[in-house]
């Protein structure tokens, strides 16, 4: 796994939120040791409209009332900044020496499949290097072929300091997540200072390694890229033909269809479900379309047929 992803260490945990929590601990410890930040002063930048779980720390970093309302008090020292805004990011890094990390999704999932501008991730990488701040990429939704690359961050050829994987890591079969980083970060935590009862479960670990192997060897990443293009072209052509106020965005097989206020996304989800097609909704009246990485043109044609009938 370290060879595939290019890191010196991997720490297995059980879920995405555990992986994200662990990355926060690693970033804080790195800041105290390597940046000599005063005790309990470390701060973490997070993108607004993020979603990385339902733990107390996760909801403390959330801007969604459905996540945090009436669950306080909250964990301090999370700073929420606009996604896809380099100027605001640099302003914070310039004036605040207590920032130890910026955690973001390369494509925001729950926010409505929000794809950042080309070059955004590369600029984030440059700024994190400039100010000695760790770049944490939450690839729990975007990773492992979902966007047509092994990692969504591969589109800009950047390597985050800490990489988070989960969900599809075991093909949905076993609870497992992974935190990958190099020794300069991971080895700041010593034996007994962090762990999990079932983290590194032998069966889950074997399943995860085989899952990644299958994704690579069976061409699922390439299929995700090609079928994603095919799907977006089909849907865009239908939108133009019907002249409706609908947008599709995404990469690979991680796509969002955003409807105007005239169409309720819940009605679309229900309609597709009645026709044995599963999808879900996110913010901004958006349907999240994330089919299996083995999907073919016939299945996409079926989806497109019902999409056109609906609108």
Instruction: Note if 138 is an active site residue.
Output: yes
Tokens 């052509």 locate to 237
CA distance 5 to 199: 20
Separation of CA 71 from chain center: 24
In tens digits, the chain (311 residues) has pLDDT values of 999 999 999 999 999 999 999 999 999 999 999 999 999 999 999 999 999 999 999 999 999 999 999 999 999 999 999 999 999 999 999 999 999 999 999 999 999 999 999 999 999 999 999 999 999 999 999 999 999 999 999 999 999 999 999 999 999 899 999 999 999 999 999 999 999 999 999 999 999 999 999 999 999 999 999 999 999 999 999 999 999 999 999 999 999 999 998 999 999 999 999 999 999 999 999 999 999 999 999 999 999 999 999 99
Tokens 């939704």 locate to 141
Under a CB-based contact definition with an 8 Å cutoff, are residues 280 and 288 in contact? yes
CA distance 293 to 12: 24
The pLDDT score that the predictor gives to residue 182 is 98
The pLDDT score that the predictor gives to residue 172 is 87
CA distance 117 to 81: 16
0.75 surpassed by pTM:
yes
The pLDDT score that the predictor gives to residue 233 is 98
Instruction: Note if 276 is an active site residue.
Output: no
Among the listed residues 51, 259, 303, 307, the single catalytic one is 51
Among the listed residues 49, 78, 138, 307, the single catalytic one is 138
Q: Is the CATH code 3.90.1150.10 the one for domain 220-310?
A: yes
The pLDDT score that the predictor gives to residue 187 is 98
Q: Where are the domains of the chain?
A: 2-217, 220-310
Among the listed residues 49, 78, 149, 167, the single catalytic one is 167
Fold of 2-217: 3.40.640
Instruction: Note if 167 is an active site residue.
Output: yes
As to burial, measured by CB atoms within 10 angstroms (0-12 exposed, 13-18 middle, 19+ buried), residue 175 is middle
């Amino acid at each position: 796994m370290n060879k595939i992803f290019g890191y010196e260490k991997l720490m297995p945990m059980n879920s995405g939120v555990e992986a994200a929590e662990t990355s926060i601990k690693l970033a804080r410890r790195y800041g105290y040791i390597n940046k000599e930040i005063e005790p309990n002063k470390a701060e973490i930048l997070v993108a607004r409209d993020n979603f990385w779980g339902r733990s107390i720390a996760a909801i403390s970093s959330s801007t969604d009332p459905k996540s945090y309302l009436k669950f306080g008090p909250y964990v301090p020292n999370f700073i929420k900044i606009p996604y896809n805004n380099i100027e605001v990011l640099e302003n914070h890094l310039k004036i605040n020496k207590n920032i130890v990390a910026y955690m973001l999704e390369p494509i925001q999932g729950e926010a409505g499949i929000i794809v950042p501008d080309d070059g955004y991730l590369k600029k984030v990488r440059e700024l994190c290097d400039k100010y000695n701040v760790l770049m944490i990429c939450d690839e729990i939704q975007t990773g492992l072929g979902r966007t047509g690359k092994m990692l969504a961050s591969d589109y800009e050829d950047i390597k985050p300091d800490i990489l988070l994987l989960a969900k599809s890591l075991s093909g949905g079969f076993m609870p497992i997540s992974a935190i990958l980083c190099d020794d300069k970060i991971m080895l700041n935590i010593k034996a007994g200072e962090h762990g999990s009862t079932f983290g590194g479960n032998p069966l889950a670990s074997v399943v995860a390694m085989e899952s990644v192997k299958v994704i690579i060897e069976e061409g699922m990443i390439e299929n995700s890229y090609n079928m994603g293009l095919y799907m977006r072209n089909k849907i865009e052509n239908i939108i133009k033909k019907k002249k409706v106020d609908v947008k599709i965005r995404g990469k690979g097989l991680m796509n969002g269809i955003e409807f105007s206020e005239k169409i309720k996304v819940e009605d679309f989800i229900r309609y597709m479900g009645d026709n044995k097609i599963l999808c879900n909704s996110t913010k901004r009246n958006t349907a999240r379309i994330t089919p299996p990485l083995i999907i073919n043109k016939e299945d996409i044609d079926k989806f497109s047929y019902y999409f056109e009938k609906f609108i």
